[in-house]
Amino acid sequence: MVEWTDFERDTIKDIFSRIKYDVVGPAAFARCLVVYPWTQRYFGGFGNLDNAAAIKGNPMVSKHGTTIIQGLDRAVKNMDDIENTYTELSVLHSEKLHVDPDNFKLLADCLTIVVAAQLGKEFTGEVQAAFQKFLAVVVSSLGRQYH
Amino acid sequence: MTTLTAKDKQTVKAFWAKVSGKSEDIGASAVARMLVVYPQTKTYFSHWQDQSPNSPAARKHGKTVMMGVGDAVTKIDDLKEGLKELSQLHAFTLRVDPANFKILSHNILVVMAVMFPTDFTPEVHVSLDKFLAAVSLALAEKYR
């Protein structure tokens, strides 16, 4: 089980209460598709992903970005049992979606960048450490059911 | 993955022109974050009396790193040749595990997002990420 300090718990709850899910989710997911274009392999049915402008304006990208961050919300609400919270999602990503779990880390990095841009100076080194720890636990839990 | 296109080089040069005035702050902030978020990196600085993230030594180091990055921008057409001496330094004197180049690069990108949220678009992000990866590779060239 993961140990969270009070600072880490408060920081995660604070971040997620401040960010706009329908802005941050789509921005992070779109950024991931631009910065790591091989991640587009999973989204053949999403239509036009030809360039950054197309990706940013793509409604399926926006919708999926929001879905992803709503999934993260579940971890925020269950910080003491993220592993079990994500059992089904892990199975889904492995058995049905066949997503290489390395991709989770790429998306996590894009989330960090987008949240950093949103929070500016308030995204201090200590806040970054807590956020990255949280995302690392999420990433690990999503990869747990792969075999 | 490390071949910079003409567009990448143009993007990096243009962005660097915008941000280089703040390069000391960028460097200090990136090094500070690295020491806090990736505490294992402190092992390279055991010779500093004050290992805290905002110490004068850390700030100075941030400045040194960003001067190197700025220099790399001017040598963007041949990083391997241009960073030859820095690679020798890192390989034989400093012996920094190259995994740490990735860590510091990540923190430079985070600082760009914090300090230049509108300018650090996904297009700039991908070109800068590629550039820092190419710099890291050039720095590791002489290792073995």
| Structure confidence by residue, pLDDT tens digits, A10-29 | 999 999 999 999 999 999 99
Going by pLDDT thresholds of 50, 70 and 90, the confidence category of residue B1 is: low
Give the CA-trace dihedral at A10, A11, A13, A16, to 10 degrees: 170
Question: Does residue B79 carry a pLDDT above 90?
Answer: yes
How far apart, in whole angstroms, are the C-alpha atoms of residue A21 and residue A27?
10
The predicted complex's ipTM stands at 0.88
Nearest CA in chain B to A55: B122
CB contact under 8 A, B113 and A121: no
Task: From residue B136, give the alpha-carbon distance in Å to each of A4, A38, A80, B68, B133.
Answer: 33, 21, 38, 11, 5
Per-residue pLDDT, B116: 98
How far apart, in whole angstroms, are the C-alpha atoms of residue B84 and residue B131?
16
How far apart, in whole angstroms, are the C-alpha atoms of residue B138 and residue B123?
23
DSSP secondary-structure letter at A146?
Answer: -
* Overall size of chain B counted in residues: 144
Q: What is the mean predicted confidence (pLDDT) over A48-54?
A: 96
All residues of chain B having their beta carbon less than 8 Å from the beta carbon of residue A118 are 117
Q: What is the mean predicted confidence (pLDDT) over A103-110?
A: 96
Who's near B58: CB < 8 A, 6+ residues apart? B28, B31, B32, B35, B45, B48, B50, B51, B52
When computed from its CA atoms, the radius of gyration of chain B, rounded to whole angstroms, is 15
Q: Does B120 touch chain A (CB under 8 A)?
A: yes
Tell me, yes or no, if the pTM score tops 0.90.
yes
How far apart, in whole angstroms, are the C-alpha atoms of residue B47 and residue B28?
18
Who's near A45: CB < 8 A, 6+ residues apart? A60
Per-residue pLDDT, B2: 65
Going by pLDDT thresholds of 50, 70 and 90, the confidence category of residue A1 is: confident
Q: Among B77, B68, B74, B64, which Cα is nearest to B136's?
A: B68
All residues of chain A having their beta carbon less than 8 Å from the beta carbon of residue B122 are 30-31, 34-35, 52, 55-56
